[in-house]
Structure 1
Amino acid sequence: MQVTTTELAGVLVFTPTPHHDDRGFFTRTFDAEIFDATIADLGTAATAGIDITGLTAADFLQDSQSRSGAGVVRGMHGRSGAGEAKLVRCAHGAVDDVIVDIRPDSPTRGQHIHVRLDDVDFRHVLIPPGFLHGFQALTDADVCYRINRPHDPTEDIGVSYLDADLAIEWSLPATVVSPRDAAAGPLSAIW
């Protein structure tokens, strides 16, 4: 498994190695031992001083899955309080995954990155607490989320996927957005 750091300290991309044969393919979508060893090996130097070494595979408590049609936008979502770590992958189809740094003392606060997640490369993205997350389905897509805290709706925060300050360039025109996401305010409202 290859692990890549990103411009947003603490956000990591895990790319497994699928094995293809005449039947199709087989790939390991999660391995606690590899995850824990990777986090321990990285330390704070490889993540620009952001300490994610306390995060372990055992911290992930909930798996969720969503299904979206091409063009659907889900986001931008986050959690207040202690935040939430997510390990996100696309099990079917392809999505443009977007992560926004909202950590108060971060040198990349307010910046975002795009990570393509699909059923070809099988990448996973680790999103530590302190980030907003959203995606746009590029095809019909199933997205799987592994989350480290039980959901508490009182801690939900949302920012408009069209916020001018974020200036996210979405891959396609949005076809469907939930009423909650359509009503979300600007990032400046949560700072």
Structure 2
Amino acid sequence: MRVDGTSLHEVLLMTPEAFHDDRGWFTRTFDTAIFDQAAVDAGIDVRSGDFTQDSQSRSRRGVVRGMHGRGGRGEAKLVRCARGSVVDVLVDIRPGSPTFGQQAMFELDDELHAHLYVPPGFLHGFQVTSEWADVCYRIDRPHEPGEDLGVAHDDPDLGIAWPDPVTVVSQRDRSAGSWATLRATLV
């Protein structure tokens, strides 16, 4: 498994190797030793044993889920696309971070099998770019609805350039707040 840093402080992209033969392919989707060593090397406090919950969503082309975050001590997660393809977007909302307010896009799909490590303190969202996509999340603590944060996917201050026309957004995401309002509460 190859582990690469990204343009966002403490965000890692982990790409496993797939082994192909006449049956199809096999890949290791997670390895605690590799993750833990990458975390140590990057100065990240989260370890593989800290993850407590796995979740999965299925969405169709054009759907946007996001932009979601957590208050309190935040939430670390590993995100991967097990079926189809998505464009995953992160926004650093950690005051004092060298990449505060910056965003980055990552293509996740069922061909490269890459995982995105998202440290606590990020807004996260994605758009489905295939007919259907299954996105898997490994999260380091149980969901606490009272800590949910959200910014509208089309907030002009964020200016996220979604790759395709947005087809479906949940009511919760349509009524999400603005980046300006959230930012004022963080600094």
Query: What TM-score comes out, normalization by structure 1 length?
Result: 0.93
Aligned equivalent of 1:155, options 137, 147, 169: 147
Letter in structure 1 aligned against 2:145: P
Which of 113, 125, 128 is the matching residue for 2:119?
A: 128
Task: Please tell me the root mean square deviation across aligned C-alpha atoms, in Å.
Answer: 0.8
Distance in 2 (CA, whole Å) between partners of 1:29 and 1:99 is 21
Q: CA deviation at 1:155?
A: 0.3
Identity of aligned residues (%): 59
Q: Deviations over 1:79-114 (max 9, x none)?
A: 000000010000000000000000011122111000
Distance 2:22 2:144 in 1: 45
Deviates more, 1:77-86 or 1:100-109: 100-109
- Residue number in structure 1 paired with 2:138: 146
Taking the aligned partners of 2:88 and 2:100, their CA distance within structure 1 comes to 18
Give 1:57's match in structure 2, choosing from 22, 35, 48.
Answer: 48
Tell me, in whole angstroms, the C-alpha distance in 2 between the residues paired with 1:169 and 1:38. Answer: 30
Task: Structure 2: state its 5+ residue gaps.
Answer: none
Aligned counterparts of 1:142 and 1:170: Cα–Cα separation in 2: 18
The equivalent of 1:110 in structure 2 is 101
Q: 1:179 aligns with which of 152, 171, 175?
A: 171
Give how far 1:43 is off.
3.7
TM-score (ref. length: structure 2): 0.95
Partner of 1:107: helix, strand, or coil? coil
Q: Match for 1:128: what amino acid? A: P
CA shift, 1:39, in A, is 1.4
CA apart distance, 1:189: 1.2
* Amino acid of the structure 2 residue aligned with 1:101: D
SS in 2 for 1:38: helix
After superposing on structure 2, the runs of 4+ consecutive aligned residues of structure 1 that deviate more than 3 Å are none
Q: Which amino acid aligns with 2:20?
A: H
The residue number in structure 2 matching 1:15 is: 15
Corresponding residue for 1:30? Answer: 30
1:47 is matched with: none
Structure-2 separation of matches of 1:163 and 1:43: 31
Given that 2:10 and 2:42 are in contact with CA atoms closer than 8 Å, whether structure 1 keeps it comes out as no
- Distance across 1 between alignment mates of 2:161 and 2:42: 32
Q: How many angstroms apart in 2 are the aligned matches of 1:79 and 1:95?
A: 22
The residue type paired with residue 122 of structure 2 is F
Segments of structure 1 that go 5 or more residues without pairing to the other structure are 45-51
SS in 2 for 1:189: helix
Q: Deviations over 1:119-160 (max 9, x none)?
A: 000000000001000000001100000000100000000001
Give the equivalent residue in structure 2 for 1:95: 86
